Amino acid sequence: MRAPPQTVTELRSALRRGEITSVAATQAMLDRIVALDNELKSYLTITDELALEQAAAADRRRAQGEDGALLGVPIAVKDIICVAGAPTTAGSKILDGFIPPYDAFVVQKLKEVGAVILGKTNTDEFAMGSSTENSAYFITRNPWDLEHVPGGSSGGSAAAVAAELAYGALGTDTGGSVRQPASFCGVVGLRPTYGRISRWGVVAFASSLDQVGTFGRTVADATALFQAIAGYDRRDSTSLNVPVPDYAAALTGDIRGLRVGVPAEYFVSGIEPEVETAVRAAIAKLEELGAEIHPITLPHTRYALPVYYLIAPAEASANLGRYDGVRYGPRVEGADMIDTVKKTRALFGPEVKRRIMLGTYALSAGYYDAYYGRALKVRTLIKQDFLNAFAQVDVIACPTSPTTAFKVGERADDPISMYLADIFTLSVNLSASCGLSVPCGFDSKGLPIGLQLIGNALQEATILNAAYAYEQATGWHQEKPRIGRG
């Protein structure tokens, strides 16, 4: 069954011309979800009644002369972001049945501009994972090949956008959880600067690393969602109180004179040859479009993985302490209060338990300075690497992931191998930079490959325009996945 063939940009034009209503577009998308998502498993919850109500309201607003980039556009929201009246599980049994009475800041912003929320997408439990296999409910599949993972932790959002089960989607990116699934699923995924988008109403994993991001089938689509949700929020103490530029206007496609840095540390042993070939070809295309290519070095890159897996679990250990069977989700009764808490917390899945234990150990007396404290110092060195690089170049270009999507179950029993899937994305979160993934080719198995473009803090307009220029000069974003094709 085919979805309407428009991107966000094309659907917006059709809505403006009166060729389709938001209700019709939303119903078509809901019908497609019913027809295809039983195979894909990208959604945890379908908010069909809410979606049709919002679509009808959007049509009324349009009839009254209102217009906007996302007015009446159906999108999906990762199930770690609160939507009032809709279940929010964070992919965990410990939040089973939790229905927030409020909207997250980003959902409030989407409702203000008239976007239509189709439902909540699947995620690795508490966003801890790189494959969406860690969801407590079911595994999401890659729409290009159902035997492969969609990436994670925002795999449900990436898969839904790729399979045309949503026009765009929100995810979160703590160590690559928007960019890596975008690469695996052949869509555009943007991770903005830390603090550019409020985290209020987003279930916390690692508070100094978490950031809401956007997915789109094109750069313009991802930009439209980003434009709608960027901004200051006084309820988030880390929110940046700086003006929000017109990101859509920055998509000129002109990158003549753009200085693009290519880090030697991101082209190392372990990267699949087809991935390296595609990414180097993409960098050559940027040069052909007028960019200047410069070799650079990020010398502390090799420390990013161990630093991340000390800081993120430590912060997760603190954040997840609140799930005790008293305030949120189910309560498993025990013999006394301590036994009740123990039995309730046993609802956590194995990966979440692993990270809580790692984090608790790193924060424990006698080990704090040796592990967590030292990791913070090395994080500063990684951040300084990026600052030094951005004194020389405007954008850094490299692979999003060292491989294409791996098979379901292939790395399930090897946590280190799973963690290495994010080796090229972690540093962006540690350095509080911004980054995105844009499709740049396919391997011999027909699986997508992503080009990662990294920018300095608050330089989203620069990386979006570079990605847009590349996208317009190539045709990778026009390819369709196997699921639902025909």
Is the confidence at residue 231, as pLDDT, over 70? yes
> Given pLDDT bands bounded at 50, 70 and 90, which one contains residue 6?
confident
Q: In terms of residue numbers, what domain contains 184?
A: 8-255+460-478
- Residues tagged active-site: 78, 153, 177
Tell me the pLDDT tens digit for each residue of 187-206: 999 999 999 999 999 999 99
Per-residue pLDDT at 4: 60
* CA-based torsion, 28, 31, 32, 33: positive or negative: positive
Is the confidence at residue 486, as pLDDT, over 60? no
Is the confidence at residue 98, as pLDDT, over 70? yes
Is the confidence at residue 3, as pLDDT, over 60? no
CATH number of the domain where residue 164 is located: 3.90.1300.10
Nearest CA to 301 out of 358, 272, 263 is that of: 263
Is the confidence at residue 2, as pLDDT, over 90? no
Tell me the pLDDT tens digit for each residue of 16-51: 999 999 999 999 999 999 999 999 999 999 999 999
Q: For residue 423, is it within any domain?
A: no
Q: For residue 229, is it within any domain?
A: yes
> What mean pLDDT is predicted for residues 101-129?
98
Q: For residue 379, is it within any domain?
A: no
Grouping H, G, I as helix, E, B as strand and the rest as coil, residue 168 is strand
Is the confidence at residue 417, as pLDDT, over 80? yes
Task: Report the amino acid identity of residue 278.
Answer: A
User: What's the structural domain count of the chain?
Assistant: 1
* String of DSSP letters for 33-70: HHHHHHHH--EEEE-HHHHHHHHHHHHHHHHTT---TT
Per-residue pLDDT at 268: 87
Q: For residue 130, is it within any domain?
A: yes
> What mean pLDDT is predicted for residues 398-419?
94
Per-residue pLDDT at 451: 98
- The mean predicted confidence, pLDDT, of the chain is 96
> What mean pLDDT is predicted for residues 373-401?
98
Nearest CA to 452 out of 317, 283, 332 is that of: 283
Contact 167, 421 (CB under 8 A): no
Per-residue pLDDT at 270: 87
Task: Report the amino acid identity of residue 179.
Answer: R
Report the share of the chain in percent with pLDDT over 70.
Answer: 98
Q: For residue 82, is it within any domain?
A: yes
Tell me the pLDDT tens digit for each residue of 137-185: 999 999 999 999 999 999 999 999 999 999 999 999 999 999 999 999 9
Q: For residue 181, is it within any domain?
A: yes
Per-residue pLDDT at 482: 85
Q: For residue 265, is it within any domain?
A: no
Q: For residue 16, is it within any domain?
A: yes
The CA-atom distances, in angstroms, between 416 and each of 175, 311, 359, 376, 413 are 15, 16, 16, 21, 9
Which pTM value belongs to this model? Answer: 0.97
- Give 3-state DSSP helix, strand, coil % of the chain, rounded to 5: 40, 15, 45
The rounded Cα 314 to chain-centroid distance in angstroms is: 22
- Rounded to the nearest 10 degrees, what angle do helices 374-390 and 304-319 cross at? 120
Per-residue pLDDT at 1: 43
Report the share of the chain in percent with pLDDT over 90.
Answer: 94
